[in-house]
Structure 1
Amino acid sequence: MNKRGSKWVLIIAGALVYAIGLNAFLVANHLAEGGFVGFSVLLLYKLGWPLGVTFLILNVPVLIPGWRLFGREFILKTTVGVAAVSLFSWLTRSWQMPTSDPLLGALYAGVITGIGLGLIFRAGATTGGSDIIARMMKHFYGISMGRTLFAIDVFVIGIIALIVGLQTAMYSLVALFVSSRTIDFVIQGVNSGKALTIVSEHNGAIASEIHERLNRGTTLLKAQGGFTGQDKRVIYCVVPREEVVRVQNIVSSKDPSAFVVINDVHEVLGEGFTYE
């Protein structure tokens, strides 16, 4: 299957997983979501309107102008995502897995819906709704998407707190938080690690130790001291999270006064990570 075809498979698969998370854990435990899904769930609880149908109807008014503003491919993928979520929400509506502990239900709902949304986002699509509104606000008014999405979620959860109950809203926030973290994990990939930038007068000895003891590569970058104006070599290396302490111990043993900066890196590709 070519790369383009795999994108559509990801969207469909993500929509199915997301719908299962909504019905089996979120709705089954009387929890809620943010955005348009949150409105759809609220209408399900109070009026009995089908989640999938309501979600599709709510999205139509934003998909039409979105097509003109953001391009054919993006909106086409998003339309497929919306339609697939609506269809699978209808087909899996009887899949219920209620728990005696609402917190457990919120955790499961967050993980499963997060996996589904992460797959959809990896394919370059969205589930429409508040995401398109956020893009419109950025396009017309320059308001950041994150701020708009946060405002919409707070508004929806606030309505849920008033109409359904404060406890439901609180557990729903837990599900939202877990979902957002899971989305990050799915999008960024499992091949994550730590990047270390090491400034030391003993860079040769440190690099050799990293090569020999950890079997990890390093890169020596040309640099110049801002205060002294002297030429320096800066070590840059990427290692799995579990090896960070070992690198720190190597640096400390060779040069206790070395300057070390550690950053998170995601989707690391290459020898030692995606192939040996």
Structure 2
Amino acid sequence: MFKTNWKPAVQQIFPILLGTAIYAFGLHFFVIPNELMEGGVTGISLLLKYALNIPPSYTTLIINVPLFYVGWKYVGKQPMYYTILGTLSLSFFLWVIEFLMHKGWVTPFRYEEDYLLAALYAGVTLGAGLGLVFRFGGTTGGSDIIARICNKKMGWSMGQVILFIDAIVIGTSAFYIPIEKIFYTLVVVFIAAKMIDFIQEGAYAAKAFTIISDKPVEISQRISDEMDRGMTFLSAKGGYSRMPKEVVYCVVSRQEVRRLKSIVRQVDPRAFMIISDVHDVLGEGFRVED
């Protein structure tokens, strides 16, 4: 019974810890040595590091503590559990890496001749870390808590609130770091956002076909025989004719898109096809998760 109850929690907690470790590594190894920036509370911690040389491991936690109280009161206990976990683990891993660097066991990546390379590596590591944290229900606190409160109390978009906070923090950093570093920071933010989307949506991407044709049975038979793919018939009605129709819905890998198009065109050149991106495809013929 103990094992059954704790297994899902462990499976969720471990990726959050791994994600915060990767994120902390990216900050200390790529961002701070090259005086780049981040948004939110992390960005404020970096500003304090650049201006007053205060370690981010302390400021990240100190700034988030009052936000924990507000979030616990207005957002709710359950959403805050993994937020507190993510924030505490981030501060811990930041401290660990600071300790290792102080001992000389870890050397940060500083390459003054090509900050773009540092920005690319920073974006990948920060995005990979945050992607893992977000995918398994955690956050690193800060602006996310503020955004949740604004969304709940005032109906504001969480994305717009986070973007507004990030813009203020990154804009303020212009007083402490050269303007060209701000532009490199935008590269970091862009790459990190793409990595977050990539990890949250899944590494495996496929294509979904919605096929409207007068020959759905023939098309489905060809797909089954030649591609060994399943499909689903959806009941529909023509908007002009008002006649009932059967729509074929089928999901294939990206490598099979051209082949499926060819089959549909061969059976019914007048068929109408809608091709959509899909992510995290689970089930027979695709990826299987326990």
Of 219, 235, 243 in structure 2, the residue corresponding to residue 222 of structure 1 is 235
Of 281, 285, 289 in structure 2, the residue corresponding to residue 268 of structure 1 is 281
What is the deviation of 1:252? 2.1
Query: Normalization by structure 2: what TM-score?
Result: 0.90
Q: Which residue of 1 aligns with 2:93?
A: 88
What is the deviation of 1:208? 2.1
The count of aligned residue pairs is: 275
Q: Which residue of 1 aligns with 2:3?
A: none
Of 90, 93, 97 in structure 1, the residue corresponding to residue 109 of structure 2 is 97
Which structure 2 residues correspond to residues 44-63 of structure 1 after superposition, within 5 A? 44-63=49-68
User: What CA RMSD, in Å, does the superposition of the two structures yield over aligned residues?
Assistant: 1.5
Q: Which residue of 2 aligns with 1:117?
A: 130
Q: Look up the SS of the partner of 2:270 in the other structure.
A: coil
Cα–Cα, structure 1 residues 205 and 34, in superposed 2: closer, same or farther, change >3 Å?
same
Query: Normalization by structure 1: what TM-score?
Result: 0.95
Q: Which residue of 2 aligns with 1:130?
A: 143
Q: Which residue of 1 aligns with 2:268?
A: 255
Which structure 2 residues correspond to residues 236-255 of structure 1 after superposition, within 5 A? 236-255=249-268
Q: Look up the SS of the partner of 2:275 in the other structure.
A: strand
The 2-side partners of 1:49 and 1:23 are apart by 13
Identity of aligned residues (%): 43
Letter in structure 2 aligned against 1:124: G
What is the deviation of 1:152? 1.0
Q: Look up the SS of the partner of 1:229 in the other structure.
A: coil
Q: Which residue of 2 aligns with 1:199?
A: 212
User: Is there any run of 5+ residues in structure 1 with no aligned partner, and where?
Assistant: none
The 1-side partners of 2:31 and 2:259 are apart by 42
The 1-side partners of 2:166 and 2:194 are apart by 16
The 2-side partners of 1:64 and 1:224 are apart by 54
Q: Which residue of 2 aligns with 1:3?
A: 8
Deviations 1:109-142 (A, max 9, x none): 1111111111111221110000000011111111
What is the deviation of 1:245? 2.2
Q: Is the 2:35–2:177 Cα contact (8 Å) retained in structure 1? A: no
Q: Which residue of 1 aligns with 2:246?
A: 233
Q: Which residue of 2 aligns with 1:17?
A: 22
Q: Which residue of 1 aligns with 2:47?
A: 42
Q: Is the 2:205–2:253 Cα contact (8 Å) retained in structure 1? A: yes
What is the deviation of 1:49? 0.7
Which structure 2 residues correspond to residues 138-217 of structure 1 after superposition, within 5 A? 138-217=151-230
Deviation >4 Å, runs of 4+: none
What is the deviation of 1:256? 2.2
What is the deviation of 1:212? 2.4
The 2-side partners of 1:204 and 1:15 are apart by 51
The 1-side partners of 2:183 and 2:242 are apart by 55
Letter in structure 2 aligned against 1:245: R
Letter in structure 1 aligned against 2:155: G
| Greater Cα offset, 204-213 or 26-35 | 204-213
What is the deviation of 1:86? 0.8
The 2-side partners of 1:251 and 1:226 are apart by 22
| Greater Cα offset, 233-242 or 155-164 | 155-164
